[in-house]
Amino acid sequence: MYEPKNPPLTPELYAYVLAHNPPLDPVLRDLVTYTQQNVERSDMQSAAEQGPLLAFLARLIGARQILEVGTFTGFSALALAQALPSSGGRVITCDISEEWTAVARKAWAEAGVADRIDLRIAPALDTLRALPTEPWIDLVFLDADKPNYIAYWEELVPRVLRGGLIVADNTLFHGKVVDPSGQDERAAAVHRFNEHIAADPRVETVLLTVADGVTLARRH
């Protein structure tokens, strides 16, 4: 049995982590603060360290075509759009809330990247199924309703280029994934998703203890 090596994430240690990551630019920082203070369900916002992580991954693979499932108030879409190469690229992001994404649109405009983000308001499965079916996506960030994670996955994988990445959020789901008998519907859905993608021969995956669990999947 492997022993965990990660130390308890105290407030002091978390502050240290953030201080040693690339700092959020003023628009990203203000968006985090506004969401926390003014938006219901602010817990749905990606953790602050995930913005630099997503941007790092996008730059690492030279992503130009990025797809996001689950926009909320636009933090992750903004971080990804800022990581696009100066020569061009786009982020397509899917959500069903006009209210939440109105906050996102304002932040994207303020950051000067609104022209790089294509927001599509509709059920995400409808949006995904309307996209070209051949491989064309460099990077996906999946952070939406958990019961549909497997359905999203099956739409996404065939559309991802060889060597492309799918980044799935909340794959530890507050630690509840380890106990199927005590799970709520969303935790049980994440548990099924984790088992499903671990057995998928089209990808290689690694589950990281970042924030609420982040899984990276590389397309073969």
- Does the residue 6 lie in any domain? no
For 92-107, what is the mean pLDDT? Answer: 97
Average pLDDT for residues 105-134, to the nearest whole number? Answer: 98
182 assigned to some structural domain: yes
For the segment 183-194, the average pLDDT, to the nearest whole number, is 92
Q: Which of the four pLDDT bands, split at 50, 70 and 90, describes residue 91?
A: very high
Instruction: Tell me: pLDDT of 193 over 90.
Output: yes
Q: How many domains does the chain have?
A: 1
pTM: 0.96
Structural domain containing residue 57: 11-219
pLDDT exceeds 90 at position 180:
no
Q: If 0-12 CB within 10 Å is exposed, 13-18 middle and 19+ buried, where does residue 105 land?
A: middle
From 35-39, 184-188, 206-210, the region with the lowest mean pLDDT = 184-188
Domain assignment present for residue 27? The answer is yes
1 belongs to a structural domain: no
**Res 184: pLDDT:** 85
pLDDT at 39 over 90: yes
Interval 194-220: pLDDT, tens: 999 999 999 999 999 999 999 999 999
**pLDDT surpassing 80 at residue 13:** yes
Q: Is residue 5 part of a domain?
A: no
pLDDT at 64 over 90: yes
Within-domain flag for 3: no
Given pLDDT bands bounded at 50, 70 and 90, which one contains residue 179?
A: confident
Domain assignment of residue 2, yes or no? no
Q: In CATH, what number is assigned to the domain containing residue 197?
A: 3.40.50.150
If one compares 86 and 91, the residue with the highest pLDDT of the two is 91
| Residue 23 forms part of a structural domain | yes
